[in-house]
């Protein structure tokens, strides 16, 4: 596990993308690059990031469409759009489509870094509430408020597992991945099965679904 912030850089200009990657690595970021919208969507849905840096004019899927799809799947990672489309109407569209910030190219490096730091601080300080089957999860209080208004208390490990699944609601997680991400101090993936059982006992058997031969995913909201 690492405390270094993770950033997804989505930019189809490969020279610029690699320049940004080198710059951000020198600032302590762990950088994942995507050169088209399809890859960006895949990375955003399957990996946790602290911040997203998105271009707009991407091959396969336009940058704002990538962001809209991520938001619709429950990915709340703060996003900064970095685009040559920089007039007022473009900025308004970007912010309305789910971006937290918007910068036009060409850009000032120091300003870009400062804005990314601000987004990271905002992400750390906010209290996200995530949709889960039958209710919503308060990731700070480790509670689930059911659609009927009942409050279910979770242990720290139960809450961490449910949050991990809820942040990528369409993804199937192998047991080994859940063991590494949620239970790094354990050495037997049986602990994953145990805490899935605990969640099902508290929230219902459809809260976490088994995908035979692979692992687990969040159940669907009804």
pLDDT means per 10 residues, the chain with 222 residues, are 78 95 94 94 85 93 91 83 90 89 92 92 66 87 89 91 87 88 81 95 94 91 63
As a whole number of angstroms, the distance between CA 200 and CA 194 comes to 10
| CATH number for the segment(s) 6-125 | 3.40.50.2300
Among the four given CATH numbers 1.10.3720.10, 2.60.40.10, 1.10.10.10, 1.10.645.10, the one describing domain 129-218: 1.10.10.10
What does the pLDDT read at residue 2?
A: 45
As a whole number of angstroms, the distance between CA 155 and CA 159 comes to 6
CB 139 within 8 A of CB 127: yes
Task: Name the DSSP letter for residue 130.
Answer: E
CATH 1.10.10.10 intervals, the chain: 129-218
CB 139 within 8 A of CB 128: yes
Task: Let me know the angle formed at the C-alpha of 164 by 162 and 166, rounded to the nearest 5 degrees.
Answer: 65
Question: What tokens were used for 89?
Answer: 């109407």
What does the pLDDT read at residue 17?
A: 95
What does the pLDDT read at residue 1?
A: 36
What does the pLDDT read at residue 3?
A: 61
Q: What is the pTM of this model?
A: 0.60
pLDDT digits (tens, 9 = 90+) for 74-107: 777 899 999 998 888 989 998 988 899 999 999 9
> Exposure of 65 by Cβ count < 10 A (0-12 exposed, 13-18 middle, 19+ buried)?
middle
What does the pLDDT read at residue 51?
A: 93
């Amino acid at each position: 596990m690492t405390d270094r912030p993770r950033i997804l850089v989505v930019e189809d200009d490969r020279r610029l993308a690699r320049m940004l990657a080198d710059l951000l690595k020198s600032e302590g970021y762990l950088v994942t690059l995507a050169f088209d919208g399809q890859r960006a969507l895949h990375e955003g849905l399957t990996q946790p990031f602290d911040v997203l840096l998105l271009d707009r004019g991407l091959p396969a899927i336009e940058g704002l469409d990538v962001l809209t799809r991520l938001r619709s799947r429950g990915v709340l990672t703060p996003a900064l759009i970095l685009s040559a489309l920089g007039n007022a109407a473009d900025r308004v569209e970007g912010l309305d489509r789910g971006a937290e910030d918007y910068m036009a190219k060409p850009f000032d490096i120091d300003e870009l870094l400062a804005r990314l730091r601000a987004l990271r601080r905002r992400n750390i300080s906010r209290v996200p509430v995530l949709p889960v089957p039958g209710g919503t999860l308060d990731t700070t209080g480790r509670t689930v408020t059911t659609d009927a208004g009942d409050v279910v208390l979770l242990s720290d490990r139960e809450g961490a597992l449910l949050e991990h699944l809820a942040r990528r609601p369409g993804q199937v997680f192998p047991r080994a991945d859940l063991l590494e991400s949620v239970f790094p101090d354990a050495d037997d993936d049986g602990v994953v099965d145990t805490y899935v059982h605990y969640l099902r006992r508290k929230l219902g058997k459809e809260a976490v679904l088994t995908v035979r031969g692979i692992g687990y995913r969040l159940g669907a909201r009804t």
